[in-house]
Structure 1
Amino acid sequence: MQADYAIIGGTGVYDPAMLENAERHEIDTPFGKAHVTIGTYAGRRVAFMPRHGYTHSVAPHKINYRANIRALKQIGVHTVLATAAVGSLKEEHRPGDLLLVDDFLDMTKSRPTTFYEGAPEGVVHIDLSDAYCGRTRNHLLETAQAQGIAISNGGVYVCTEGPRFETPAEIRLYSQWGGSVVGMTSVPEVVLAKESEMCYATVAMITNYCTGISKHPLTHAEVVETMRDNVQKIRELFFHAIERGFGERTCACPQALAELGSL
């Protein structure tokens, strides 16, 4: 049971689709069990993990992020490509658009955000100056351009606790703080991936305008419908990027735990 690449599917992305000889596995970790589908694409071993479960049964604040990321680490994954359904804080980012996230604001309240909480594991103050691996993002951007897939390069993901949608006052605040999109799952996933010395990138699918910008009340059905109509674009982007290969890991991600030593 081994894979080099992983795709984490968010809302609306529950099917690995293009994987050959795909098999589901349950993986035991020190943080609980995780479920993953492992198969092959273009001769490369790829793991697919539905963040909310295969039937969207896990709310964003209840996801066992530590078990999920540790499970991917245990099977050898070094590069993670994540999807995210998000609301837009900016009128220029329209429903159906793709955006490569390059930074985040953490507004979560109750989630474990580290593998390192003291003895015996130790404490690490992880550097997040390049939270979403720039080398991996550049490869995704080049792949999108080669495939004729429109994508915005760069944006700040505001991660809220959920599962409720945000209030108009919150949306005004996040917009003033420089946020681009709002979602409920990127933190702590991106932080844990960095602590695991993985290269991690998120392609956000904009499914709606946020509360106060949208002219109608938001519903989960609207989010799922927009994702369903556009998910093939993300699949093609990720699998073509994996087929092209990401090259040598010249980024800082493989040495993110230099002060502690590798896992």
Structure 2
Amino acid sequence: MLAIIGGSGLTQLASLDLIRREVVRTPYGEPSGALTFGRLCSQPVVFLARHGYGHTIPPHRVNYQANLWALQQAQVDAIISVASVGGIRADLCPGTLIVPDQIIDYTWGRKSTFHENSDEPVVHIDFTEPYDEAIRQRILKAGLKAGETIIDGAVYAATQGPRLETAAEINRLERDGADVVGMTGMPEAALARELGIPYAAINVVANFAAGRASSASGICFDSIDAVLRDAMGRVRGVLDHICES
């Protein structure tokens, strides 16, 4: 069963044939909300709104451990994360869809592992390639079927939030090799890897990052809302085609 984690702009799947909602308790506390089980193009899917169904949980307060543990308990065999980002690279303009292939983590203080008890052996994971390549290719092929242009590959910079970055910080991220910036990609991807669940992401560029192009002197939040309304409709179309394959 496929799991879809929805971020800003995707708090529900309109085309999901609802079967049930299930409140899950985990050893790590409560997930962001109930798991929504249903069918998308006849395929079983479970959906979780990362920020809560009322979009009330800021990025640094998301209980990533509980979210991933709850999905594991639901016996999902793959996770697709949908998240909005700021475009650092000049060609990644608002409305662009991207399947990233690398991450740089700038977050701090978040619970980033399931293995932190002092009486447990230290556990390391290989994170050379943070996204599952088979799931990445599945997304890209679905984009072709949906007639959507999706950029294959980008370096995602995960920042702490909830504030957006300064122009100087974006300059630093670019020097580090980042192409887009978001606030929720970590530790989500690492926790999925610890649990052995294949994980990949669809990033939606909501705006140019601070100091770039139309965001040179500030970011217009009204325009972000309009971009996300359009782009998330296109993402839903891609997700439909993923479930048809």
Give the TM bin, normalised by the shorter chain.
Answer: over 0.9
Count of paired positions: 241
Match of 1:258 in 2: none
Residues 46-195 of structure 1 correspond to what in structure 2 (within 5 A)?
46-195=45-194
Match in the other structure for 2:11: 14
Deviation at 1:119, TM superposition (A): 4.4
Cα distance in structure 1, aligned partners of 2:137 and 2:188: 20
How far did 1:139 drift?
A: 1.4
Question: What is the distance in 2 between the residues matched to 1:227 and 1:152?
Answer: 17
Q: How big is the shift at 1:40?
A: 1.4
Partner SS state of residue 85, structure 1: strand
**Is the Cα contact below 8 Å between 1:85 and 1:223 reproduced in 2?**
no
**CA offsets, 1:100-122, max 9 Å, x none?**
11110100011011111144553
Q: Deviations over 1:70-116 (max 9, x none)?
A: 00000101100111100010110110000111110100011011111
Equivalent residue number for residue 234 of structure 2:
233
Counterparts of 1:194-213 in structure 2, within 5 Å, are: 194-213=193-212
Which one is further off, 116-125 or 157-166? 116-125
Once superposed, what is the RMSD of the aligned Cα atoms? Answer: 1.3
Pick the aligned partner of 2:30 from 30, 33, 41.
Answer: 33
- Following superposition, the deviation at residue 123 of structure 1 comes to 2.4
Counterpart of 2:85, as a letter, is V
Report how far residue 146 of structure 1 moved.
Answer: 2.2
CA contact (8 A) 1:11 1:224 kept: no
Question: Counterpart of 1:26 in structure 2: which amino acid?
Answer: V
Q: Could you tell me which residue of structure 2 aligns to residue 260 of structure 1?
A: none
- 2:99 aligned partner, one-letter code: L
Q: Partner of 1:24: helix, strand, or coil?
A: strand
Of residues 224-233 and 149-158 in structure 1, the stretch that sits farther from structure 2 once superposed is 224-233
Letter in 2 for 1:18: S
In 2, are the aligned partners of 1:78 and 1:197 still within 8 Å (CA)?
Answer: no
CA distance in 1, matches of 2:52, 2:13: 12
SS at match of 2:135: helix
Instruction: Note the C-alpha offset of 1:44.
Output: 2.1
Kept in 2: contact 1:5–1:78 (CA 8 A): yes
Q: Given the two structures, how large is their TM-score scaled by the length of structure 2?
A: 0.94
2-structure distance, mates of 1:69, 1:225 = 30
Distance in structure 1 (CA, Å) of the matches to 2:104 and 2:208: 18
Unpaired segments ≥5 residues, structure 1: 245-263
The CA distance in 2 between the partners of 1:19 and 1:67, in whole Å, is 23
Q: Distance in 2 between matches of 1:222 and 1:74?
A: 38
1:221 deviates by 4.2
